[in-house]
Amino acid sequence: MDPTPEELRTHVETLAGEIGERNVFRPAALHAAEEYIEATWRDQGHTVRRQVYETHGTACANLEISIGGRDEPAETVLVGAHYDSIRGGPGANDNASGVAALLTIGRRLSEIEPRRTLRLVAFVNEEPPFFHWGQMGSMVYAREARQRGDRIRVMLSLETIGYYSDEPGSQQYPPLFRHFFPDRANFIAFVANFRSWRAMRRTVSAFRRHSSFPTEHVATFGFVPGVSWSDHLAFWRQGYPALMVTDTAFYRYPYYHTAADTPERLNYAAMAEVTRGLCGAVADLAD
């Protein structure tokens, strides 16, 4: 069954509405989100691996499910999204939207038999004060993956994918980018560094085979504001091809990192179409 707006809304409302702000400074809420993700994947028939570490006196867990590859199991396609939220914010778009898509991908792909191994990971501790540093959940995960010798063909980071607008001037950009991209915030963006541009092009092509939702893509410098601001950064640091799938966050979303980042702000019909494209793209990349 294709992703539905109702399915995605349920996940977002649970994480950002019922649970709300979730981080190590509100450990009960962080653990509630962790338990919800784990229970959802188990209900889909997956086995969940927990990568647990402690920071700020709180036990934190990255959660992973894996669908083994039939022909090339040593090669991995990895899709991730962080489930913590900023201090003071319920994090509906940032990043319950990405987690909702991740959970839906888990349901859609639970019965496929891909050629390569497919892994879905819900990362903890992406938001400050952890972003960029060693206790960021994806940094912990990517280091372990490199130490194991994992062959990750591509990593996709799902980050703020729920806000869209057809209004002229609703999309902003870093300097110079506005000359090359549309001024309406009605597309999903695929963002990579230069080392990952081939993986990005393959991903965009796969997405377009399964969805007509508008897309934009760019490979650029990691120092451009926003380009490296998610879990793909950890995989770049370990030498893996990785990209971010995003609605561009603060370049269009006026409630980014605020208490007003609430479930009713999101466009669930658009999210469903984006998630449908991602489901097909991930299946193609893994096959």
Residue 172 domain-assigned?
Answer: no
Cα dist from 55 to 91, 130, 133, 198, 213, whole Å = 21, 10, 12, 36, 40
The CATH number that applies at residue 111 is 3.40.630.10
Q: How far apart are CA 83 and CA 36, in angstroms?
A: 10
Residue 223 domain-assigned?
Answer: yes
pTM for this entry: 0.96
Instruction: Give residue 2's identity as a one-letter amino acid code.
Output: D
Cα dist from 28 to 18, 23, 179, 205, 263, whole Å = 13, 9, 46, 41, 20
Q: Check whether 285 has a pLDDT greater than 90.
A: yes
Residue 197 domain-assigned?
Answer: yes
Residue 268 domain-assigned?
Answer: yes
- Across 12-19, average pLDDT: 98
Number of structural domains found in the chain: 1
Quote the mean pLDDT of the chain. Answer: 96
Note the pLDDT tens digit of each residue in 98-123.
999 999 999 999 888 999 999 999 99
Residue 179 domain-assigned?
Answer: no
Instruction: Give residue 25's identity as a one-letter amino acid code.
Output: F
Q: Check whether 71 has a pLDDT greater than 90.
A: no
Residue 111 domain-assigned?
Answer: yes
pLDDT tier, 137 (very low <50, low <70, confident <90, very high otherwise): very high
Q: How far apart are CA 15 and CA 138, in angstroms?
A: 20
pLDDT tier, 179 (very low <50, low <70, confident <90, very high otherwise): confident
Residue 175 domain-assigned?
Answer: no
Residue 174 domain-assigned?
Answer: no
Domain of 74, in residue numbers: 5-162+185-248+257-286
